[in-house]
Amino acid sequence: MSKKIPTSRVDKLLGSMGYGSRAEMARLGKAGGIVLDGADLTDVSKRIPVTPDLPSRMEIDGEALDPVAGLVVLLNKPLGMTCSHKEDGALVYDVLPDRWRRRDPAISTIGRLDKQTSGLLLLTDDGDLLHRVISPKRHVAKVYRATLARPLNGTEGALFASGELVLEGEDKPLAPAVLEVVSPTEALLTVTEGRYHQVRRMFAAAGNHVEALHRERLGGLALPDDLAPGAWRLLSEAEIASIFVS
């Protein structure tokens, strides 16, 4: 039996994607701002099939329609931005299209980077994907580049790999992590957990202090060299799949 293709009123669909209210979509349609398959769609009460190829067939104000569902954004998070919807100051959502804040389901970060950590950050409206990436059962590796206040002493690699390191204030040992020394005061650390300020606290436990922290990789997905701080782009299905390939 073939799977039934869902349909939706145009105004309701676009409203759920953050483009505006039904009244606003009605005005936009009458003004010729909604195009489907090359023709103006003036009646926004019309029901249309919501197929995977809809973004390639519909334009809103001259731009291709956003992904209807499964929006996955790769952001090179700058320093000083918070992974929050509500905190004061600069938020990671500020660099994205304003309409995305109004999407339903809402866009959320996949995990968090603290205010003073930069690098690879994913955002999505796909709750299943979010939970798959952050699930402890998946063991999705995260690679951080840490710049340290003092030279490494040579014991950190064994300590982090032991599976016996217990962070201050906790009672459960960390899963083994891999340290790669880049220079006396710089290292790459691969972890498979996401505890609060984990990398900073690991180096603190080894008697050092992290002065700068940058996430370079999530699973098999690396932060592109040509994606500037504050820049973002949508991920392809192949790139999303690469997250789960180590």
Judged against a pLDDT cut of 80, whether residue 3 lies above it is answered with: no
DSSP helix/strand/coil, 178: strand
Reported as a pLDDT band with limits 50, 70 and 90, residue 152 is: very high
Q: Which of 40, 114, 171, 225 is catalytic?
A: 114
Reported as a pLDDT band with limits 50, 70 and 90, residue 85 is: confident
pLDDT score, position 2: 58
| Average pLDDT, integer, range 236-245 | 95
Rounded to whole angstroms, the Cα distance separating 109 from 64 reads 24
| Average pLDDT, integer, range 41-66 | 96
Rounded to whole angstroms, the Cα distance separating 218 from 21 reads 36
CB 80, CB 115: distance < 8 Å = yes
The H or E element spanning position 180 is strand 178-183
| Average pLDDT, integer, range 155-181 | 97
Mention every residue, 6+ apart, whose C-beta is less than 8 A from residue 58: 34, 35, 36, 37, 41, 64, 65
| Average pLDDT, integer, range 81-91 | 88
Tell me, yes or no, if the two domains 7-64 and 141-218 fold the same way. no
Rounded to whole angstroms, the Cα distance separating 202 from 234 reads 32
Handedness of CA 156, 157, 162, 168 (dihedral sign): positive
Active site residue 114: yes
One CATH from 3.40.50.970, 3.30.70.1560, 3.30.830.10, 3.90.1300.10 for 141-218:
3.30.70.1560
Picking from 82-96, 104-118, 228-242, which range would have the lowest pLDDT averaged per residue?
Answer: 82-96
pLDDT score, position 72: 97
Using a pLDDT cut of 90, give the percent of the chain over it.
93
Reported as a pLDDT band with limits 50, 70 and 90, residue 109 is: very high
Judged against a pLDDT cut of 90, whether residue 5 lies above it is answered with: no
pLDDT tens track for 117-145: 999 999 999 999 999 999 988 999 999 99
Judged against a pLDDT cut of 70, whether residue 63 lies above it is answered with: yes
From residue 31, alpha-carbon distances to 7, 13, 16 in Å are 24, 18, 21
From residue 102, alpha-carbon distances to 85, 91, 148, 216, 232 in Å are 12, 15, 40, 29, 18
pLDDT score, position 4: 85
Rounded to whole angstroms, the Cα distance separating 73 from 75 reads 6
Judged against a pLDDT cut of 70, whether residue 40 lies above it is answered with: yes
How is domain 7-64 classified at the architecture level of CATH?
Roll (3.10)
pLDDT score, position 1: 52
Q: Which residues pair with 121 in a beta bridge?
A: 75
Ranges of each domain in the chain? 7-64, 72-135+229-235, 141-218
Supply the mean pLDDT for the chain. Answer: 95
DSSP helix/strand/coil, 229: coil
State whether CATH 3.30.70.580 applies to domain 72-135+229-235.
Answer: yes
Alpha helices in 68-191 (DSSP H): 127-134, 156-161
